[in-house]
Amino acid sequence: MVEYRTFRNADTPRLVAVWNETFTGRGSPPLSANTVVERYVLSKTIFNPNGIFLAIENDVCIGWAHAAMSGNPFNTQSVGVICLIGVKPSHQRRGVGTELLRRCEQYLREQKADAIQAGGHWPNNPFYMGLYGGCESPGFLQSDAAAMPFFLKNGYRLDQKIHVLQRILDQPMKMFDPRFIPMRSRYDLGFGSPRRLLSGWHESVHGTVDPLQFVLTDRKAGTWVARTLVWEMEVFSLHWRRPTIGIFAFEVTAPARRAGVGRYFLSLIMKYIQEQFFTLVELQLEETNVAGLKFLRSLDFEDADIGQVFTRNA
């Protein structure tokens, strides 16, 4: 008989054991120690043990799921998130996943969620950035083939698709553009640890990956024209056997767009990354960002996976 209960302090090894047997795709690196979960999940101030549900059979954890509320201050409605759910392959198709999902949904309703989102994606991604999905939180990856039929069967609808794009850096980069020539004397590239991220919610979601901020500054005006956050994807680097860098929150000011500034900025960052002996870089973009996808593909970025975000009313 399967028993369901919430998280206890001694359960971390159980979570890790299920993870390593269940989450075996390209976007979910094996966990080498309990401390990885403690760093990216349990140590966050927003962590609530009542949001993790374990399925136990004969004193062995056969599956678990994690639900949490989004703390995004700009949401127009309260959003609850099914962050992760997994059942050991040997115990799938027995209703365990469905029951774990039901308990997560009930927990989120008790937390006054108006809508439920399955799969974390900014700005509704309270946990697992740095552990699942790549350089950001793209929802549930398409390469995890069981996710879509499971959520559709349980009343969810596909709401968003996020492209995961990668570029190998151990090959020569052909990124020159004639527009770069005057930019070299006009702009300066700087980087360092940001004094603070943009908001408390940014700190909660992104702080655990300890990003560097790269900024392109107009020398004459003294103002920034482009900026982004960059982090070393340590856990993924081990999994993919390639030193990997993730780039996210890439932005260019409106007056500087369509003038080659974004291309110049990214070329400087990638050259620096390459000089530090990293051999892979990853970015993620929503499917609706057609111009951005075209831009990255013109720089030899290739699709590695697709993230999927599912939603339903609470």
How long a stretch of residues is the chain?
314
Q: Is the distance from CB of 68 to CB of 204 less than 8 angstroms?
A: no
Which letter, b or e, does each residue of 64-94 get, where b requires 16 or more Cβ atoms within 10 Å of its Cβ? bbbbbbbbbeeeeeebbbbbbbbbbeebbee
Question: Are residues 31 and 87 both part of a single domain?
Answer: yes
Q: What is the pLDDT of residue 278?
A: 96
Q: Taking a C-beta distance cutoff of 8 angstroms, is the pair 231, 250 a contact?
A: no
Local confidence pLDDT in tens for the 314 residues of the chain = 999 999 999 999 999 999 999 999 999 999 999 999 999 999 999 999 999 999 999 999 999 999 999 999 999 999 999 999 999 999 999 999 999 999 999 999 999 999 999 999 999 999 999 999 999 999 999 999 999 999 999 999 999 999 999 999 987 777 778 999 999 999 999 999 876 777 889 999 998 999 999 999 999 999 999 999 999 999 999 999 999 999 999 999 999 998 999 999 999 999 999 999 999 999 999 999 999 999 999 999 999 999 999 999 98
> Is residue 313 domain-resident?
no
Domain termination site, one of 103, 132, 163: 163
* Angle value at C-alpha 161, between 125 and 265, nearest 5 degrees: 80
CB-based contact 96:3 (threshold 8 Å): no
Nearest by Cα to 105 from 123, 92, 117, 88: 117
Residues 198 and 136 in one domain: no
In a domain, 314, yes or no: no
Residue 312 in any domain: the answer is no
The predicted structure's pLDDT at residue 43: 95
Separation of alpha carbons 280 and 240, rounded Å = 10
Cα-based torsion angle of the residue sequence 122, 289, 26, 19 in order, rounded to the nearest 10 degrees: 20
- 266 and 158 assigned to the same domain: no
Contact 219, 187 (CB under 8 A): yes
- Answer for the pair 280, 26: CB distance below 8 angstroms, yes or no: no
Q: Please tell me whether residues 121 and 7 are part of one structural domain.
A: yes
Enter the tokens of residue 98.
Answer: 């469905």
What CATH number has the domain bearing residue 41?
3.40.630.30
Where among 134, 163, 192 does a domain terminate?
Answer: 163
The answer to whether residue 10 sits within a structural domain is yes
Residue that finishes a domain, picked among 108, 132, 163: 163
Same domain for 27 and 128, yes or no, is yes
By DSSP bridging, strand 244-252 and strand 280-286 are: parallel
Same structural domain, 108 and 224: no
Residues 7 and 145 in one domain: yes
- Residue 257 and residue 278 in one domain: yes
Asked whether the beta carbons of 88 and 21 are under 8 A apart, the reply is: yes
pLDDT digits (tens, 9 = 90+) for 14-59: 999 999 999 999 999 999 999 999 999 999 999 999 999 999 999 9
SS3 313: strand
Q: In which domain, by residue range, is 153 found?
A: 3-163
Say yes or no: 88 and 142 in one domain: yes
Q: What is the DSSP letter of 120?
A: -
Domains of the chain: total: 2
pLDDT value, residue 195: 65
pLDDT the model gives residue 176: 77
Same domain, 154 and 220: no
Q: Copy the structure tokens of residue 225.
A: 């024209």
Give phi and psi for 11, each to the nearest 5: -85, -10
Is 158 a domain residue?
yes
- DSSP letter assigned to residue 121: B
Please report where in the chains the tokens 């094996």 appear, as a residue: 30
E strand map for 70-156: 79-87, 115-118, 140-141
Q: Are residues 19 and 85 in the same domain?
A: yes
291 and 238 fall within a common domain: yes
